Amino acid sequence: MEKILLAIDAQNPDKNSLEFACFLARLTKSTLTGIFLDNSALEEATIGDNSGETAQSGLTERNIRWFNEKCIGEETKHDLHTDSGIPIDELIIESRYADLVIVDSETSFNRPYEGSPTKFVKDFLNQAECPVVVAPESFEGIDEIVLAYNGSSSSVFAIKQFSYLFPQLSDKKVSVIQVSEREKWNEQEKNKLAEWLKDHYRRFDFISLKGEADTALFDYLWKRKNVFLVMGAYGRGSISQFFKKSRAELIIRTLTQPIFIAHH
- Report the alpha-carbon distance of residue 7 to residue 158 in Å, rounded: 21
> Domain coordinates of the chain in residue numbers?
3-135, 144-263
Residue 190: the pLDDT is 94
Residue 106: strand, helix, or coil: coil
Q: Which CATH number fits domain 144-263: 3.40.50.620, 3.40.50.1820, 3.40.50.970, 2.60.40.650?
A: 3.40.50.620
Whether residue 35 contacts residue 83, with contact meaning beta carbons closer than 8 Å, is answered with yes
Using CB atoms within 10 Å of the CB of residue 133, give its burial: 0 to 12 exposed, 13 to 18 middle, 19+ buried: buried
Residue 47: the pLDDT is 45
- Report the alpha-carbon distance of residue 230 to residue 241 in Å, rounded: 18
How many C-alpha atoms does 97 have within 13 Å on its Cβ side?
Answer: 7
Residue 50: the pLDDT is 59
Whether residue 34 contacts residue 79, with contact meaning beta carbons closer than 8 Å, is answered with yes
Residue 57: the pLDDT is 83
Query: Residue 168 carries which DSSP code?
Result: G
Mean pLDDT per block of 10 residues along the chain (264 residues) reads: 96 93 98 91 51 75 97 97 93 97 90 78 91 91 93 91 98 92 83 96 93 76 89 61 54 78 84
Q: What is the number of helices (H) and of strands (E) in the chain?
A: 10, 10
pTM of the predicted model as reported, rounded to 2 decimal places = 0.89
- Report the alpha-carbon distance of residue 24 to residue 95 in Å, rounded: 17
Residue 169: strand, helix, or coil: helix
Residue 37: the pLDDT is 95
How many C-alpha atoms does 18 have within 13 Å on its Cβ side?
Answer: 28
Q: Which CATH number fits domain 3-135: 1.20.1300.10, 2.60.120.260, 3.40.1160.10, 3.40.50.620?
A: 3.40.50.620
Same fold, 3-135 and 144-263: yes
Residue 111: the pLDDT is 66
Using CB atoms within 10 Å of the CB of residue 145, give its burial: 0 to 12 exposed, 13 to 18 middle, 19+ buried: buried
